[in-house]
Amino acid sequence: MTKSKGTNRPKWIWTPEQLDLVRQHFHCTQTRVLATWIGCAEGVLNAKAYALGLKKSTEYLNSPACGRLTKGDKRGTSSRFLPKQTPWNKGTHYVAGGRSAETRFKPGSKPHTWLPVGSYRINSDNVLELKVNDLPGANHVRWHPVARLVWIKANGPVPANHIVVFKAGRATTVLERITPDAVECISRGENARRNHPRTKSPELAQLVQLKGAITRQVNRIHREAQEQSA
């Protein structure tokens, strides 16, 4: 756990007198005004009011103090867009000044990381991929895992809700070793079962369960402390 270095606002400690003010006036007073009376931030006040189950009254919400616009209200009419109004910048185009034109991307230009179709790369997940097209969009549109391409070439399209993976002990990024007998097509459910902590490491599964139990106890203690302070 890292320290806030003084950047986080200290936790607000509510006194019984302040809680009485919240209960008596929150429903009929502007939150900004009530927060000023108490000396806390509006967000702190709103959070406490929510915890106490307090809401603004209907009378307050219908009053001018609430600040809501009502039918027939003339506030803000001078700055509203009118029907069929033409914006002042219609038909104009922004042109940056200075030397910006020298560093702009020209039509048809490609980034320095661009590679032609047919190129290979190893992605951040240590998977060998082949570039199959130059279409726009996300990387997976252009780059396909070689293992999947090899399986498709030997067996046809991958069925819905299935993926192509390496067989146990056959994972590699060497092109010559990615052969049809090294890969298999499995369902996403089977992939989840294979990678579940209980399957991969019973010890890790126990740690995950222990972490969950500790988290639940910490949340319970924190919740009980909040209820007592309210």
| pLDDT tens-place string over residues 33-42 | 999 999 999 9
What number is the average pLDDT over the span 159-163? 96
Residue-averaged pLDDT of the chain: 89
Kindly give the residue spans of alpha helices, DSSP state H, lying in the chain: 16-25, 31-38, 42-51, 58-61, 139-142, 146-155, 188-194, 197-200, 202-229
Backbone angles phi, psi at 128, to 5 degrees: -75, 125
Percent of the chain with pLDDT over 90: 59
Structure token digits, residue 101: 């034109």
Average pLDDT value for residue range 169-187 = 96
pLDDT of 52 higher than 60: yes
Contact 134, 142 (CB under 8 A): yes
Per-residue pLDDT for 171 more than 70? yes
Amino acid 1: pLDDT: 42
Predicted local distance difference test score (pLDDT) of residue 40: 93
**pLDDT mean over 195-219:** 84
Question: In angstroms, rounded to a whole number, what is the distance separating the alpha carbons of residues 44 and 225?
Answer: 17
Q: What is the four-CA torsion angle of 162, 166, 168, 171, rounded to 10 degrees?
A: -150
Write out 113-167 in H/E/C secondary structure.
CCCCCCCEEECCCCCEEEECCCCCCCHHHHEEEHHHHHHHHHHCCCCCCEEEEEC
Band of residue 96 on the pLDDT scale cut at 50, 70, 90: confident
For residue 130, the cross-strand partners are 120, 144
